[in-house]
Amino acid sequence: MAPPRSLPDGLLVAWYGDDYTGAAAVMEVLTFAGLASVLFLNVPTPEQLQRFTNVRGIGIAGSARSRSPAWMGEELPPVFAFLAGLNAQLFHYKICSTLDSSPAIGSIGRAAELAFAATGAPWAAIYPAAPAIGRYQAFGNLFAISGEDVHRLDRHPVMAHHPVTPMDEADIGGHLSRQTGLPFGLVGLDALTSAPEATERLARERDRGARMIAIDTVDDRTLSHAGHLIWQADGQPRLAIGSQGVEYALVRYWQDQGLLPETQPTPRAEPVDRIVAVAGSASATTGAQIEWAEANGFTATRVDPRGALEMGAAYENWVQSAVNAALAAAGSPIVFSARGPDDASIAAFKGAGEAAGMAPEQANERLGAGLGDILARLIERTGCRRAAIAGGDTSSHAAQRLGIFALTAQAATVPGAALCQAHRDHAETAPLEVALKGGQMGTLEYFGQIRNGGATNQGSKS
Backbone angles phi, psi at 240, to 5 degrees: -130, 140
Among 256, 290, 305, identify where a domain stops: 256
Residues 236 and 287 in one domain: no
Round the average pLDDT of the chain to a whole number and report it. Answer: 91
| CATH at 343 | 3.40.980.20
Same domain, 229 and 280: no
The CA distances from residue 238 to 60, 86, 131, 206, 314, in Å, are: 18, 13, 22, 14, 50
Give burial (CB, 10 Å; 0-12/13-18/19+) of 253: buried
Residue 4 scores a pLDDT above 60: no
The confidence score (pLDDT) of residue 1 equals 33
Note whether 222 and 113 are same-domain residues: yes
State mean pLDDT over 232-242.
92
Sign, CA dihedral 17-283-389-459, equals negative
Same domain, 163 and 287: no
Secondary element (H or E) of residue 173: helix 172-176
Q: Which of 376, 386, 301, 294 is nearest to 336 (CA)?
A: 301
What does the pLDDT average to over 109-115? 98
Q: Which domain holds residue 357?
A: 276-452
Q: What is the pTM of this model?
A: 0.87
pLDDT band at 396 (very low <50, low <70, confident <90, very high): confident
Distance CA 228, CA 232 (A): 6
Q: Is the pLDDT of residue 461 over 70?
A: no
What percent of the chain has a predicted confidence (pLDDT) above 70? 96
Closest CA to 72 of 95, 44, 38, 90: 95
271 is a domain residue: no
Are 252 and 280 part of one and the same domain? no
Looking at the structure, do residues 306 and 199 belong to the same domain, yes or no?
no
Closest CA to 43 of 13, 87, 81: 81
Widest CA span in the chain? 74
Q: Which residues pair with 422 in a beta bridge?
A: 407, 432
pLDDT at 148: 84
Determine the length of the chain. Answer: 462
pLDDT recorded at residue 3: 44
When pLDDT is averaged across residues 245-271 and rounded to a whole number, the result is 90
The pLDDT tens digits of the residues spanning 415-433 come to 778 899 999 876 556 789 9
pLDDT higher at 160 or 78: 78
Is there a domain that residue 241 lies in? yes
Mean pLDDT of 209-218: 98
Total structural domains in the chain? 2
Nearest alpha carbon to residue 34 among 269, 264, 248, 268 = 264
Taking each helix axis as running N to C, give the angle between helix 20-32 and helix 245-256, from 0 to 180 degrees, rounded to the nearest 10: 10
Residue 462 has pLDDT above 70, yes or no: no
Q: How far apart are CA 115 and CA 62, in angstroms?
A: 14
